[in-house]
Amino acid sequence: MRNSLICTAIAFSSFSLSASACPDYLNTEMRKLGSKEVINFCETYQDKPLFIVNTASNCGYTHQLTGLEQLHQKYESQGLVVLGFSSDDFFQEEDNEEDAAEVCFGKYEVTFPVMATSSVRGDTANPVFKALGEAKGYPRWNFSKYIVSADGEVVAKFRSDVSPDSPKIRATLASVLEQ
């Protein structure tokens, strides 16, 4: 009986340690765009580097979805997770969620997860973007990009006009993936 209690205590403390390793801002759930599926970020992405971008279907930068998909395809095997966050904060997202999903998943054939439309700046920002904004500044436009290390540190922010295949983004990703 005593050995059983010790093993239970060890297992519980191991679970508590790993559960606490996930940063608070990722300890949230959000629904995927055009889906009923809900993703718990800690359960799904804990200990993985993240490339996070706020997206919109009717923006001059929407074509960057192609480059984001290429990043996803290139670095997924190394553990990188590309995450899109649909947002209408700049009034360039489809009013109908199914139409926004069609742009992402149909027209641009995106296979990385894109979250349902939510706010990405200010007091109404979703928890992930609230933390990103506080750490490196809120998005000033659609397709702002953030790189987050596997331990949850917000490493870098890139403006909308910085292409997903830019040398600066590739270098930052390389350093994060080496950790």
- Domains of the chain, CATH where assigned: 23-178 (3.40.30.10)
Q: For the residues 50-77, what does the mean pLDDT come to? A: 97
Residue pLDDT, tens place only, 81-134: 999 999 999 999 999 999 999 999 999 999 999 999 999 999 999 999 999 999
| Global confidence as pTM | 0.87
Sheet containing strand 114-115, edge to edge, reads 114-115, 81-86, 50-55, 145-148, 154-158
7, 22, 42, 59: the active-site residue? 59
Task: Say if CB 101 and CB 34 are below 8 A apart.
Answer: yes
Active site residue 42: no
**Residue 18, H or E segment:** helix 2-20
pLDDT at 119: 98
123-163 pLDDT tens trace? 999 999 999 999 999 999 999 999 999 999 999 999 999 99
